[in-house]
Amino acid sequence: MPLEIRQIRADEIEAFLRAMSGPFAFDLPDEEPELEKMLDRFSSTFEVDRTRCAFDGAQMVGTLGAFTLGLTVPGGSVTCAGTTMVTVLASHRRQGVLRQLMDAHFAEARDRGDPIAGLWASDAAIYGRFGFGMAAVGAKYEIDRRHLAFHRLAPTGSPTRFVDASEAAEILPQVYDAIRPTRPGMLARNEAWWKHRNLNDRPDRRDGATAFRFAVSTGQDGRPNGYAQFRVKEGWENGHGAHEVRIVEIMGTEASAFRGLLEVVLSHDLAIKITAWDRPLDDPVFDLFASGRRAVPEVSDALWICLLDVAGALTARQYDSPGAAVLGVHDPKTGEATSWLLETDGVESSCSRTERTPEIELDLEDLGSAYLGRARFGELVRAGRASAEPETARRLDRMFTWDPQPWCPEVF
């Protein structure tokens, strides 16, 4: 019997979570009150109408959801289908379930007018064949607090103070919203997103560390210009403090904010280690310390992007320099090859189908990787993943490169 692919009903949310629980290795609470809390929390940001799930008879065997996201792109923003919660039961793997789910998801996103879909890949080898490219990376680092000094050219730190959770809920969104339009890859956060995701301090997510601690920095105008959200994990070695400060998020509108916040984070006398995960490669922390090797980044893939509407996506962003090029784009999902004429003066752009011979030929996956400014066309050509003359690649790199580098500070 063929599978049924459809949106779930509101009364099927628990079944959705149970179908997800196998592939993602978690259990739902046994006690009814705890289960109700979990369902309420999950439903607070879950969009039932954006689900597309696979049913084998009455059994849900594949899940896929989507968040309606506002994604910052170079010089602007677009709506993005935040592809998420994608699973297939082990009993139904290798039967085309994922492809059917993605077909239905892409159709739904295009019907809504989303020019882009984005995701965090649980398995980085899966999504390129559907046209998703690695558009942003994140850096994990560990700092030994005992051997650290600020660089002689680092600015004086902004004044900082600790705030409680209620004050943090007012201040953090203000600072975040001031930064988000400047950084490709960042996502808009509404009130529910802050409450139920970013500031939701569940004890089962603390891994033995404290509740959230919040520090806020203040600029010369008296307004908040940065914040640090972190936990402290207790530790002892030979009777001496060996705590770990775990940075959850640190944001600043200027370098002095980062300096002030880092001073607070580094001033925990019983701590010997500072850790952070999913930081941008151009994080100011690497230039504020006297020895950059004290914070050596371990880089991993982060946000993946698929251009559902090539023309719509390419005209939604600005470019670092004027230029024009004919792009030959191969869609690995459909096998279709199309040519697109992109022309821009840097701010205003046009993009349309053309019969002209492509100046560069590349996969939709690699166009997604380059869209926010991460991947370089020259590198793709040298790696044999794209085909173009060196000057064409250099011209496209001048157009697509953007500062700051793309970064997505949260998993969805």
pLDDT in tens, 357-371: 999 999 999 999 999
The set of residues, in sequence order, having a beta carbon less than 8 Å from that of 257 and lying 6+ positions away, is 157, 158, 217, 219, 225, 226, 251
The reported pLDDT for the residue numbered 213 is: 98
**Residue 344, CA distances (Å) to 135, 243, 310, 370, 394 in order:** 21, 52, 15, 16, 16
Supply the pLDDT for residue 342.
98
Q: What is the pLDDT of residue 147?
A: 81
Residue 116 · residue 313 · CB < 8 Å: yes
Q: Give 108 or 286, the one with higher predicted confidence.
A: 108
pLDDT given at position 292: 75
Whether domain 4-120 has CATH 3.40.630.30: the reply is: yes
Tokens in use for 354?
């053309």
With 80 as the cut, is the pLDDT of residue 194 above it? yes
Identity of residue 15: A
Domain boundaries, the chain: 4-120, 139-300, 319-365+373-400
For residue range 389-398, list pLDDT tens digits in order. Answer: 999 999 999 9
pLDDT the model gives residue 37: 93
Residue 355 pLDDT greater than 80, yes or no = yes
pLDDT of residue 162 exceeding 80, the answer is yes
139-300: CATH topology: Aminopeptidase (3.40.630)
Domain 4-120 and domain 139-300, same fold? Reply is: yes
Q: State both tokens at 178.
A: 């001031």
For residue 296, pLDDT over 90 is answered with no
Alpha carbon dihedral 182, 110, 302, 100, in 10-degree steps, equals 180
The rounded mean pLDDT for the chain is: 96
pLDDT band of residue 293 (cuts 50, 70, 90) is confident
pLDDT category at 273 given cuts 50, 70, 90 is very high
Half-sphere exposure of 183 (CA within 13 A, CB side): 23
Per-residue pLDDT, 378 = 98
Give per-residue pLDDT as tens, 207-229.
Answer: 999 999 999 999 999 999 999 99
Q: What is the mean pLDDT of residues 177-181?
A: 98
Q: What is the pLDDT of residues 300-352, one digit of tens each?
A: 999 999 999 999 999 999 999 999 999 999 999 999 999 999 999 999 999 99
pLDDT for the residue 148: 86
Q: Distance between CA 28 and CA 26 in Å, rounded? A: 7
Q: Which pLDDT tens digit goes with each residue over 48-60?
A: 999 999 999 999 9
Sign of CA dihedral 307, 312, 316, 320: positive
Beta-strand (E) ranges in 234-374?
A: 236-237, 240-241, 243-252, 271-279, 298-301, 303-307, 323-330, 337-344, 349-353, 360-363
- In whole angstroms, give the CA distance from residue 406 to residue 110: 24
User: What percent of the chain has a predicted confidence (pLDDT) above 90?
Assistant: 95
Q: What is the mean pLDDT of residues 135-145?
A: 94
Going by pLDDT thresholds of 50, 70 and 90, the confidence category of residue 286 is confident
Q: Answer yes or no: is pLDDT of 34 > 80.
A: yes
User: pLDDT tens digits for 77-116?
Assistant: 999 999 999 999 999 999 999 999 999 999 999 999 999 9
User: Residue 69 in contact with residue 118, Cβ under 8 Å?
Assistant: yes
At residue 136 the predicted structure's pLDDT band, cuts being 50, 70 and 90, is very high
First to last CA, the chain: 33
CATH fold for the domain made of 319-365+373-400: Nonspecific Lipid-transfer Protein; Chain A (3.30.1050)
Looking at residue 294, its pLDDT comes to 79
Give the three-state DSSP class for 90: helix
